[in-house]
Structure formats: structure tokens, C-alpha cells
Amino acid sequence: MANDQDENAVFLALADATRRAVIRALGPGPASVGELAQPFAMTLPSFMKHIHALEDSGPIRTSKSGRVRTCTLDRDRLAVVGHWLDEQRRVWEDRTDRLESLMADPEENR
């Protein structure tokens, strides 16, 4: 189970639209930094800051072969987000279920 610090790091990295786009682009499979950077109007050093932020917080891993750096999703690490969302979903479903039961028969719940 991830601790709060792990969750915070992943959520902070995903707070940026460019980083979320990188995660989406890696969904189908690994890609080179050059391929990932292509759609963005920024210099490669600026784009690399986003890659490093994602790598440092864990959602992606990189490997280098010659001059090509390839990025791969770390789905286990990215699952921190899914686990958190599942917890929140359960809390809100419980709340809406209670509200629904109160609204269905207000006399019974007095």
C-alpha cells in the first residue's frame, strides 16, 4: 500500500497537463522521448524536466540505448491513483446510498 508521500508525489506529477498527456501517450506502449516530445511546442530540455518529474515520482521508467531514451509506464506505481480513486468512490457511493434511503422513505428514518 502506498503511503501519503507516495500518493502526493504521483498526484503532484500528474497535476501538469503535459505530464498527463505523456502518460496517455504511453498507454499503448513504450515510446522514445523524441516521439513523446513531438506534439509539444517546447524545447527538448524543457520537455525533459517533465520526463524527470514523472520518473522521479514513479509513473514512468526510462532506459537508454545508445542515444535513444525510451519511456515506459510503471502501471503498478500509477495504480496509486486508481487505489485512491477507488477509496473515494466507495465513500461517496456510501453517502449517496444513505441519502437515497433517507429520501425513499423519510417517515421510516425519523
Taking a C-beta distance cutoff of 8 angstroms, is the pair 50, 18 a contact? yes
* Class of domain 4-103 as given by CATH: mainly alpha
What is the percentage of the chain residues whose pLDDT exceeds 90? 59
- Calculate the alpha carbon distances from 11 to 22, 35, 40, 94, 100 in Å: 14, 24, 22, 24, 32
pTM: 0.78
Q: Is the pLDDT of residue 1 over 60?
A: no
Average pLDDT taken over every residue of the chain? 89
Q: Which helix (H) or strand (E) holds 40?
A: none
C-alpha cell at 40: 509539444
Q: What's the distance, CA 91 to chain centroid?
A: 20
- The residue ranges of every structural domain in the chain are 4-103
Higher pLDDT, 81 or 105: 81
Longest dimension (CA), the chain: 73
Q: Is the pLDDT of residue 78 over 50?
A: yes
